[in-house]
Structure 1
């Protein structure tokens, strides 16, 4: 059984990985909730296009996504200049850059559960709440969001767990800078390259344990809130 003993650089990678995962989920919820709600109500001709764009990172190789983000935010482009002006740093080789890439890559893991929840019960809940005299804003915050809490927790857990193991996109955008862009998956790759399989096993076991615990807690919560069958 692996003992979780890490060097100072690896502790930095662990902290950076958790920071990246938490920030990614927080940002995705900030605009993912209204985006999913809007998309659940949108019936226009571009509905399939919008859904395809949101789902695209699910099937697109991470290195391809990372490459196009690098091209789009290169210093000689409008987006690259705007990024530099807003953040004070270049997109490449920065924590802000890998955070942006992680948000794009984990988008479907957070938005899709929310979109499905809104489509399943959102309209009925809102109509019933407004019939009882609640405003749209109060109905959305005080009735609808609590009603879809299991889906929100699922979305947060999936987004968090998915970000923990990201490798290709992070390496394309951020490289391998300790304390800045070196996450656990890249630190694991470094150990394998040096044929240090014992430490690679320790890092892999840590990621595996954290992901497994997250999913177990998610399923326990879902079972607890699952409607009981009458037979």
Structure 2
């Protein structure tokens, strides 16, 4: 039988990953569209900022986010003073941190999917009198379904396995910020390998299933993201 703490930790992990994925999907659709088709001079700098979480050590990003979330000053102080919202060592804080850390895993597949579509798709839609918004949702988005599914799967998997940023921003508070990856570290520290095995097996199986889904869908040109990420 699985104990209540074990189930609560898995539930919190799933909640964090699900909310992170939904929020990032909503944010990334317009951002990816803009990055795919804009010719603005600052595009390169913005693309670099989006990709920073992939190359920056998680503890470094977690440290800076913790400073930003400090309720005594800066952004964290502003939220505490005017909205009575505290981000440091709370679920809301690790959710925001997870969203920031997951940006490239959602935006890059969407952006590359849009850039891979023939220009004639948009031109034909505009010729028929469709607006940019209508063209995006009725023409472009249906044609990048593999990219959308890839982004969702990668974002969800990354959120489940996040460790450094969550630990720095949220600590290890049961029922509040203690997700499965942190629980594994905690159990190993106390030599409770049986419990660590259970957490690890579940995360391993979830990650494997998500990768199978990605590779099953992206047998064609959309495999760019997985291949480039490991090159």
Distance 2:118 2:132 in 1: 12
The answer to whether the 8 Å contact 1:106/1:163 transfers is yes
Q: Which residue of 1 aligns with 2:22?
A: 26
Distance 1:125 1:102 in 2: 34
The one of 134, 152, 156 equivalent to 1:156 is: 152
The answer to whether the 8 Å contact 1:130/1:139 transfers is yes
Q: Cα RMSD between the aligned structures?
A: 1.9
The one of 211, 216, 222 equivalent to 1:220 is: 216
The answer to whether the 8 Å contact 2:71/2:88 transfers is no
Distance 1:203 1:134 in 2: 50
1:60-117 CA deviation, whole Å, 9 max, x = no partner?
Answer: 1111001001112211323113333576331111000000000010110000011111
The one of 191, 195, 201 equivalent to 1:205 is: 201
The one of 120, 126, 129 equivalent to 1:124 is: 120
The answer to whether the 8 Å contact 1:122/1:144 transfers is no
Structure 1 residue 166: deviation in Å? 0.7
SS class of match (1:214): helix
SS class of match (2:102): helix
Structure 1 residue 118: deviation in Å? 1.5
The answer to whether the 8 Å contact 1:69/1:101 transfers is yes
Structure 1 gap ranges (5+): 227-231
Q: Which residue of 2 aligns with 1:140?
A: 136
Normalization by structure 1: what TM-score? 0.90
Q: Which residue of 2 aligns with 1:229?
A: none
Task: Indicate the structure whose relative CO is greater, using CA pairs within 8 Å and at least 6 residues apart.
Answer: 1
Structure 2 gap ranges (5+): 223-231
Distance 2:79 2:23 in 1: 17
| 1:71-86 superposed matches below 5 A | 71-84=67-80
Shift in alpha-carbon separation, 1:219–1:204, aligned structure 2, 3 A: same
Distance 1:87 1:40 in 2: 36
Normalization by structure 2: what TM-score? 0.90
The one of 184, 190, 193 equivalent to 2:186 is: 190
Q: Which residue of 1 aligns with 2:50?
A: 54
